Amino acid sequence: MEKKKLKRKSRFWSLVTSVPELSILILLIVGGYLVMGFASKVQGTEILSPTDIWLIIVGSFLISTAIAILAVIGGIGGGVIFTPIMLGFTSLDSLVIRATGLVVAMFSGLISTGPFMRSKLANIKVVIYCGFPITVGAILGSVAAIRLHNALGLVGDGIVRLSLGMLMIIIAYFLFTGGGKTEYPEPKHIDAFSAKMRLNGSYWEESLGKVVNYHLVRAVPGGIMFIFLGFIAGFFGLGGGAFLTGTLNLVMMAPVKVAAACSGVLLAISNATAIWTYITYGALIAVFAAPWMLGQVVGGILGAHLLISIRASFVRKVLIAILLISCIKLVLRGIEEIFGIDIPII
C-alpha cells in the first residue's frame, strides 16, 4: 500500500514539474491565498465572519479543482457537476448559478484545449464542423433562459430541468449497455456527406500500444443535434459536455477519448459565446465566480494530462457515474419546482 501511495505521489509531482504553466499557476494561487488570508481586510456579515468568507473562497477553489479533473476525464463540462449541486443545495438565484456554471464549464474546456490539440486527441476538422451549430444553439439557449426565467418563473424552469434529467438518464443507459463497443466504434457504412467533410483522423492509444484510426459518420443528424445540445447548455448553464461526448461517440461513432477531447474544445467555444448574454443581464458575479474559475484552470490541466494515459473503459465509467448523479439532482429539483414539493436531498 505504501509503495502504491508513493508511486501516485511521484506521478503527481512529475506531472506538476513537467508542465511549467501548471507549476506557475499553483505557486501564484497559493501565494495569492496566503496574502488574502493574512493581509486582506475582509469585513464580515451578520451570518458570516471574515474567516468563514475566506474558507468559502478557498473551499470553492479546491472543490472546483476536483470538479475540473472529473469533468475533463469524463469529457463533460464542469457545469454538469456544479450546476445541479448548487441548485440542489443552495438558495442562490438560478440565473447566477447557471451563469457561473457556464464559466466553470468554459474554463474546464479552455484549459484542456492545448493538451488535447497537441496530443491529437481533439480533431480540428470535427471541432470546426460541430462548432458552428453548437454556438448558434448556445446563444439561443442563453437568451431563452433569461426570457423564460422572467416570464414563467420556477414552473417553466422545472419542466425543462425535469426533461433534461430524463435525457441524461437515457444517454447514461446507452453508454452503459454499449459496453466496450462504444470505446472504439467501427461504423459499417460511411455516408456521402461525412466522407465529403473528411471527418476522419488517428491518434496513438497508449493503453493498446497502437494507432487507432477512425472516421465519423452521420454528420447531418449530428449537426442538428448539436444545435439542440447547444441550446440546452446555454439555457441551463450546464456546459453540455456530457451530451456532446455522447453524441460524438454514440451517434457519430467517434472513439470515446476523441469524443471527450473534442467535447472539451467545443465547450470552450460555445460557452464563451453564451456567457455574454448572462453578463449583459448582470447574472454573473465576479467575486463568486473567481475561485471557481481558478480551480478550473488547475484541474483542467491536470485532467487533460491524465486523460491521455488513462484507459478508455475507465473514462466511460466515470462519465456514466457523473451522468447518473447529475440527472438525479435535475429530476428532483424539477419535481420540486413543478409541484411545489419540498424533497430533502441528501
Q: How far apart are CA 149 and CA 321, in angstroms?
A: 30
Who contacts 319 (Cβ-Cβ below 8 Å, separation ≥6)?
A: 74, 75, 76, 175, 242, 245, 256, 260
HEC string of 84-96? HHHHHHCCCCHHH
Residue 6, pLDDT above cutoff 60 = no
Residue 261, pLDDT above cutoff 60 = yes
Residue type at 220?
A: V
Question: Given pLDDT bands bounded at 50, 70 and 90, which one contains residue 117?
Answer: confident
Question: pLDDT higher for 50 or 249?
Answer: 249
Average pLDDT of the segment spanning 44-51: 60
Residue 245, pLDDT above cutoff 50 = yes
pLDDT at 77: 62
Average pLDDT of the segment spanning 263-287: 85
Residue 190, pLDDT above cutoff 90 = no
pLDDT in tens, 146-179: 888 788 777 777 777 787 778 777 767 766 665 4
Residue 122, pLDDT above cutoff 60 = yes
Q: How far apart are CA 56 and CA 14, in angstroms?
A: 30
pLDDT at 180: 46
pLDDT at 108: 65
User: What is the overall mean pLDDT for the chain?
Assistant: 75
The model's pTM? 0.73
C-beta atoms surrounding 144 within 10 Å: 16
Question: pLDDT higher for 211 or 218?
Answer: 218
pLDDT at 135: 92
Residue 305, pLDDT above cutoff 90 = no
Q: Looking at 13-17, 89-93, 118-122, 170-174, which range is the least confident one?
A: 13-17
pLDDT at 226: 92
Residue 279, pLDDT above cutoff 60 = yes
Secondary structure of residue 67 in the 3-state scheme: helix
Residue 309, pLDDT above cutoff 60 = yes
pLDDT at 291: 83
pLDDT at 179: 47
Burial readout 31-45 (b: 16 or more C-beta within 10 A, e: otherwise): eebeeeeeeeeeeee
Residue 19, pLDDT above cutoff 60 = no
Average pLDDT of the segment spanning 276-300: 82
Of the ranges 47-56, 98-107, 237-246, the best mean pLDDT one = 98-107
